[in-house]
Structure 1
Amino acid sequence: MQVKTHDAPTQTTRAPIFQDKDKSCQTKKKCDASTQIAPHNHPSGRTQDQSIETVQYAHCLIQDKCDDVKAKGLRITCIDWGGVTGSLLAATYGKIDEHGWCSEFGRINFWNLSAKNYDGKPFASIEHSSYLMSVAAHPERPSMFSAGSFNGEILLFDLNNDSQPLIACSKTNAFPINSLRWIFDANYGEWLILSMSADGYILLWTISNKLKFPIQGFNIRCNLNGEIHALSGTAMSSSARDIIVGSGAGVVSKIYVNSSIVFGRSTISEDGTKLRLKWSKNASRIISQVPSKLRDNMIKRIEKKAMEEKRRGVDIETVFNAGIPMKELFPIPKMMTANNQHIGPVTSVDYSYFNQDMYLTAGRDGMLKLHSSLTREILLTLEPSSKFPAEHS
């Protein structure tokens, strides 16, 4: 990994985000494009064509030449805001049309938009051995960011560590990490990383074990028309109650957190399971979500492995060394709903900051749809006009 850093100016006044093209790699550009707004079930009773309104874009962002990003053909794959004042911006670079194993370098850049004499250049730029597909800022530690790679790694960066900002890295998963979120476990008083990979697995990670193993997870398979389908995860957002997941097939799934994620001190002995060895809290936590019909045999297999390794107890490393299949260790969530919402892959989902019942989904079909957790009906659909092709979505 190559690390390229610049002196971070003192934070004083906020500089404009959009600079002139000859001064910065960020550009403000007027777009001759419009969007058609087509409300569903319009109260006036008008038809969809009659209720279409036209909204002009104020501006759009274009990617100009920054370092060698353009020369390598890299694109921005994800952005996220960090810092106490929200003035730090992180962007990951890679390619979304890559297949198989990635051996080309990716990059993550960091900007301080409130720095004095801000000139549009990143104050830190870090290269990685594969494309980077997602990034999430720590909610309370401004210098900490997690990122997901095309080869399935989860990386943890601390910008305060100048000599080696990469402080932890998980093992490769062979599938891209398309989305990351931070969620808080109040019982243990720690922030956990929630990751979603292209093979449909959603996993929980803790910093305390330096991302060596996930401590819990499940896979998003759903029943559509009487058949069980595995869904490739393409986008994810979370609230205090739900996790919304978009897939490559256009399916939007809702997972109810309280019934799917085991927070706190849940143990596998609560249901009367007999244990021969002492289990660590994370080992117990990861097994507690397994269906009871599989759990007993799984526990026997794991404890046998621990005794073969002459361990006095079972930790999370022993669980993974026992060779339990992923689909058994990380089952389907207990409560999940799924519906076809887009034609083609879902590219983004996001909850409202002001109303946790409202969320938006966007897809390769060019559609932007507003949903509510209180109804299955779509509240609003935004559709680009012919002047702005759907391929930009």
Structure 2
Amino acid sequence: MASNDTFIRVSNRQLQYGSRARSTAGLLQLLKSVPEHLMAMGMATNQATSVAFHPHRPSVVAAGTNYGQIYVWDLDRCGDGRRDQQGERGNTDSISDALVFRTIADQQYAHGEGVYSLQWLPRRLDAQGISDSEMLLCASSTDGKCLLWDPFIRETGRSRPTPLTGFTIPRKKANKWLNRDGMLEGCRSVGAPVADNAAVTHCILGGEAGSVARIPLRLSDVLSGEQLHISSTCTWKGDALGVLRGVPEEAQQKLIMHVEAYCAVQGINQVTTEIIYGSQPPCSLVYPPPAKSATCQGHTPSTPVTAVAFSPFISRAYATGGADGKVMIFNGVVGTAVLTLCPSIEASAEDSPAVTALSWSCSRPAVLGVALMASRSGTGGVLFYDLSKPGPRVPVVSIAMDGGCVALSSNPTQRQLWAAVNGKGEAQMLRVGFGLSDRLTGEESVLKRLLEAPLSSRLR
């Protein structure tokens, strides 16, 4: 192994982010105080199952829990991140002050099970020049729902936050979709294009049972603000029309009929968001399955697709990872993987590791990081592939971690740094050598050629 590819562990106490030191202090305070904060709110059994930093404001961080709640904090509200004289109690209060958004666990209209994937998406198709408040949060859960939230919305009259739009994924049986709400395939992972100037028109969703699907996102319809013309005996208020825009046009009339039948019985003549949800429409009416989804090559049946990661350089390039231990790389316009990898690190044949996370390098287009953990032995770690190298696709760097690795992310501003979380929940910073951080001439073209390679020439 070349010396310039060697990893160095960096303690989070020694890591300095320069102008971002305040946000870093707030992050450390958040990591220490979240359990206390959840306990103070009567949710001592909650565990964070996903986390996502705002792409433009590093002080804003979102987290999903194993019971379906979503939290968004603005760490700038924590002051300088130091504990005050009140000690632990003051620290918890500081984190409470930083909380800007919170959802309620709801099996029917929000998330009722673990939120395992979060991603920030631009509100507009043209992602250039958007403000911080023009970012939406896409969340997927094992309850079978993928929902789009606006954490920065300022509304009155609602007892709880409601999604802008969403969809459910029915489970397939004998090649037929089952339309019953109780037969949904859990949404384990979700990803959308993150490359500069990429039009966010779709997302890739990984299911609990191994399926991979390309789902259209109707952001332009949901956020257009165009007037909906409804033939109705009731008056639909603006917030109710917002909910209606989140429903595909072909399903809107069914929801209207359901709500107005409820209004007729209750003697209501004005429809608000509270009235819509108070009428208790079936989940399949509010979040119908996507009509134009495309099925891609999936992972081993009955094994969750644990990770979906889009390239930050090429919008159509994405990778999926699963509990079956495979990593598949796709060209977004083709449903078949162009490359399949089978990573392994310090595991026996009886206890093969699962892929727990994927992250493309933010500085090198052809470098992909893979996090692994074996369920029985707890072994695993991080592997790095350099797809620009000719020959068999083998890791150029591997590093074992105590308890395996459950999360991995490349630093977007300091190209040598990667963040990882081991199986014990301990966060570590990893530094890679220049061989994995300095961009090579023509590297992006190499990845494009890989995506366009004919089936007969694909290396596995």
Return the TM-score normalized by structure 1.
Answer: 0.63
Distance 1:212 1:350 in 2: 28
Paired letter, 1:352: S
Normalized per residue, the structure richer in helix is 2
Distance 1:185 1:390 in 2: 37
8 Å Cα contact 2:73-2:101 kept in structure 1: yes
Distance 1:150 1:386 in 2: 28
Query: In the alignment, which residue of structure 1 is the partner of 2:316?
Result: 357
Instruction: Give matches, 1:95-244, under 5 Å.
Output: 110-111=27-28, 125-127=33-35, 128=38, 129=43, 130-162=46-78, 163=94, 164-173=97-106, 174-186=112-124, 190-207=134-151, 208=153, 209=155, 212-221=161-170, 226-228=175-177, 230-239=184-193, 240-244=200-204
Shift of 1:122: 7.2
Q: 1:279 aligns with which of 236, 247, 253?
A: 236
Shift of 1:172: 0.7
Please state whether the residue corresponding to 1:299 is helix, strand or coil: helix
8 Å Cα contact 2:148-2:164 kept in structure 1: yes
Shift of 1:375: 2.0
Q: Percent identity?
A: 24
Distance 1:166 1:133 in 2: 18
* 1:347 correspondence with 2:306: yes
Please state whether the residue corresponding to 1:285 is helix, strand or coil: helix
Paired letter, 1:138: H
Structure 1, 227-236 or 245-254: larger mean CA deviation: 227-236
Query: In the alignment, which residue of structure 1 is the partner of 2:278?
Result: 321
Paired letter, 2:124: A
Normalized per residue, the structure richer in strand is 1
Distance 2:259 2:174 in 1: 37
User: How far does the alpha carbon of each residue in 1:370-392 deviate from its partner, in whole angstroms, 9 at most, with x for none?
Assistant: 11112233111221247444243
Shift of 1:222: 6.2
Please state whether the residue corresponding to 2:335 is helix, strand or coil: strand
Paired letter, 1:247: G
How many matched pairs?
A: 293
Distance 2:327 2:10 in 1: 20
8 Å Cα contact 1:84-1:140 kept in structure 2: no
8 Å Cα contact 2:210-2:322 kept in structure 1: yes
8 Å Cα contact 1:110-1:125 kept in structure 2: no
User: How far does the alpha carbon of each residue in 1:234-281 deviate from its partner, in whole angstroms, 9 at most, with x for none?
Assistant: 111112122111111111111122489633124542xxx303333344
Please state whether the residue corresponding to 2:243 is helix, strand or coil: helix
Shift of 1:308: 7.0
Query: In the alignment, which residue of structure 1 is the partner of 2:295?
Result: 338
Please state whether the residue corresponding to 2:232 is helix, strand or coil: coil
Instruction: Give matches, 1:229-308, under 5 Å.
Output: 230-239=184-193, 240-258=200-218, 262-269=222-229, 273-288=230-245, 290=247, 295-303=252-260, 305=262
Query: In the alignment, which residue of structure 2 is the partner of 1:30?
Result: none
Distance 2:18 2:52 in 1: 12
Distance 2:10 2:177 in 1: 41
8 Å Cα contact 1:186-1:264 kept in structure 2: no
Please state whether the residue corresponding to 1:133 is helix, strand or coil: strand
Distance 1:62 1:250 in 2: 36
